[in-house]
């Protein structure tokens, strides 16, 4: 691997935008995501040895890796969030745990704990490996801590410069803008550790909905947080929804959102992808079933192709390139659920 001295034009996200890299289809998907309040700095080896993370968290990461190597899916995510004076409490750490509901859904289920530092490792282990013992941590549950009736929304802005300089250079100013102008009792803005896709910096995740965004500036950030304005202006900034597992489905879902508008994010959704036979997965049929906020059911069917790939550096510090597929929706239709014959 070669390294480079970084100057302004050399950030991987700048190069990607100059090449016209479309972020659609490049969101992560997961069954669960855990946020752990963790003091800075976040060093590059924090996932390998205890210190920044408790030993139990390291043990859990090791167990997931072994299971993955044995053939099990890796559907878990563990991310760090930086302490914040408005949210944090000395001697305690906040743990926020998101899980995917069964069937169609619009938001991940959110549970929050504020536990003593010495108990955080055991709490994390229990959430995953011994949920039958979770009642022992009921006293630390902070899910109902918010003084308003509105559910808490978490905006995660990647500022993890140790992993990629672009996230610190472009992500931190975005975090600061959102934190200063929009944070409140039911909207928490967090600095978060690397979650993939620094080539799309500034990048953020909106939870509990699970939407990933790319190349976000202040104007776009305000629109995302407030969910207003013309969605067409955000077409090239939407990476995808964590509720869909592959790029074909995520690209199709973006085009549906462009038709339906912001209300689409409140619909219960479920998706399935059928790829063409053979080794070349360059096109697929996607079906996304939905139920709108009035209870009406329907289905979107899309034909999605990989129109080309763009080779660009996936890291500011390296010359190594990655071929990013670029998805194109060539056909999209909507029908009522009674007319659809889709099996999920």
Which among 175, 110, 183 is positioned nearest to 145, based on CA atoms? 110
Name all contacts of 143-147 with Cβ < 8 Å and 24+ positions apart: 143/110, 143/111, 143/112, 145/112, 145/114, 146/185, 146/186, 147/185
pLDDT at 47: 86
pLDDT in tens, the chain (344 residues): 333 344 455 899 999 999 999 999 999 999 999 999 999 999 888 888 888 899 999 999 999 999 999 999 999 999 999 999 988 999 999 999 999 999 999 999 999 999 999 999 999 999 999 999 999 999 999 865 555 567 899 999 999 998 999 999 999 999 999 999 999 989 999 999 999 999 999 999 999 999 999 999 999 999 999 999 999 999 999 999 999 999 999 999 999 999 999 999 999 999 999 876 554 579 999 999 999 999 999 999 999 999 999 999 999 988 899 999 999 999 999 998 654 444 33
CA atoms within 13 A of residue 26's CA, in its CB half-sphere: 29
- Is the peptide bond preceding residue 202 cis, with omega within 30 degrees of 0? yes
pLDDT at 340: 45
Beta-strand pair 32-37/76-81: parallel
DSSP 3-state assignment of 281? Answer: coil
User: How much of the chain is in helix, strand and coil states, percent to nearest 5?
Assistant: 30, 30, 40
pLDDT at 308: 95
Report all structural domains of the chain as residue ranges with CATH numbers, in order of start: 8-246 (3.40.30.10)
Q: What is the DSSP string of 2-37?
A: ------GGGSHHHHHHHTT---TT-----SEEEEEE
Which among 154, 342, 343, 335 is positioned nearest to 256, based on CA atoms? 335
Which among 40, 246, 276 is positioned nearest to 160, based on CA atoms? 40
pLDDT at 342: 41
pLDDT at 51: 86
Render the burial of 171-193: b for 16+ CB within 10 Å, e for the rest. Answer: bbebbebbbeeebeeeebbbbbb
Residue 123's contacts (CB-CB under 8 Å, 6 or more residues apart) are: 95, 113, 115, 137, 140
């Amino acid at each position: 691997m070669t390294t480079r001295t970084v100057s302004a034009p050399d950030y991987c996200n700048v190069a990607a935008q100059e090449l016209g890299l479309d972020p659609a289809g490049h969101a992560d998907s997961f069954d669960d995501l855990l946020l752990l309040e963790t003091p800075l700095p976040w060093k590059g080896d924090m996932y390998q040895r205890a210190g920044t993370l408790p030993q139990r968290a390291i043990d859990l990461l090791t167990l997931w890796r072994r299971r993955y190597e044995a053939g099990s899916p890796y559907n878990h995510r563990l991310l760090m969030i930086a302490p914040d004076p408005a949210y944090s409490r000395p001697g305690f750490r906040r743990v926020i745990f998101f899980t995917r509901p069964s069937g169609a859904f619009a938001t991940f289920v959110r549970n929050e704990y504020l536990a003593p530092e010495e108990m955080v490792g055991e709490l994390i282990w229990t959430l995953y490996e011994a949920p039958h013992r979770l009642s022992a941590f009921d006293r630390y549950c902070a899910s109902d801590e918010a003084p308003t009736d509105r559910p808490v929304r978490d905006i995660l802005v990647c500022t993890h410069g140790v992993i990629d300089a672009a996230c610190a250079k472009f992500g931190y100013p975005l975090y600061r803008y959102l934190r200063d102008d929009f944070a409140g009792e039911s909207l928490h803005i967090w600095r978060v550790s690397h979650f993939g896709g620094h080539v799309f910096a500034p990048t953020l995740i909106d939870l509990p909905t699970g939407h990933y965004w790319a190349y976000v500036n202040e104007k776009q950030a305000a629109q995302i947080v407030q969910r207003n304005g013309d969605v067409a202006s955000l077409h090239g900034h939407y990476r995808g929804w964590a509720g869909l597992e592959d790029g074909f489905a995520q690209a199709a879902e973006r085009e549906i959102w462009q038709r339906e508008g912001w209300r689409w994010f409140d619909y219960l959704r479920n998706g399935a992808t059928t790829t063409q036979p053979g080794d070349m997965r360059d096109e697929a049929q996607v079906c996304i079933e939905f139920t709108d906020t009035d209870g009406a059911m329907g289905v979107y069917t899309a034909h999605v192709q990989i129109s080309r790939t763009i080779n660009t550096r996936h890291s500011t510090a390296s010359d190594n390139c990655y071929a990013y597929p670029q998805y194109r929706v060539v056909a999209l239709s909507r029908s009522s659920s009674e007319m659809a014959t889709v099996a999920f």
